[in-house]
Amino acid sequence: MPVLSQSFSPDGLAFGPRRKSFEIEEALSSDWHGSGAFRTAWFNAMSLLFPLGEKFFIDSVCHFQDDIDDPKLLAEIASFRAQESTHRVQHQRYNELLCELRDYDLIRFEKHERERMAWAYRELSARRRLAGTVANEHLTAIMANDLLTNQDVLTGADRQIASLWEWHGVEETEHKAVAFDVFVAVGGTVSERRQALLLNTFFFFKDTLRNVCIILDKEGKLWSAREWASGLKFLFLKPGMLRRVIPAWFRFFRKDFHPWQIDNRDLVRKWEQQQLVEPTSGDSV
Mean pLDDT for the chain? 94
pLDDT tens digits for 184-241?
Answer: 999 999 999 999 999 999 999 999 999 999 999 999 999 999 999 999 999 999 999 9
Could you state, in order of their start, the residue ranges of all structural domains in the chain? 25-256+263-268
In this structure, which amino acid lies at residue 39? R
The residues facing 33 across adjacent strands are 157
pLDDT value of residue 42: 98
pLDDT value of residue 2: 53
HSE, CB side, 13 Å, CA atoms: give it for residue 34.
Answer: 16
Rounded to whole angstroms, how far apart are CA atoms 202 and 139?
11
Q: Tell me: domain 25-256+263-268, CATH 1.10.620, correct? A: yes
Rounded to whole angstroms, how far apart are CA atoms 102 and 18?
29
Roughly what angle, to the nearest 10 degrees, separates helices 126-150 and 178-185? 150
Dmax (CA) for the chain in angstroms is: 66
Rounded to whole angstroms, how far apart are CA atoms 70 and 185?
10
The predicted model scores a pTM of 0.94
Show the CA angle centred on residue 157, arms to residues 152 and 158, nearest 5°: 145
Rounded to whole angstroms, how far apart are CA atoms 147 and 138?
14
**Non-local CB neighbours of 254 within 8 Å, separated by 6+ positions:** none
The total of other beta-carbon atoms located within 10 Å of residue 168's CB is 22
Which of 2, 146, 177 lies closest to 79, judged by CA? Answer: 177
pLDDT value of residue 151: 84
Whether 280 has a pLDDT exceeding 60, the answer reads no
Q: What is the mean pLDDT of residues 238-256?
A: 97
Residue 5 near residue 75, CB atoms below 8 Å: no
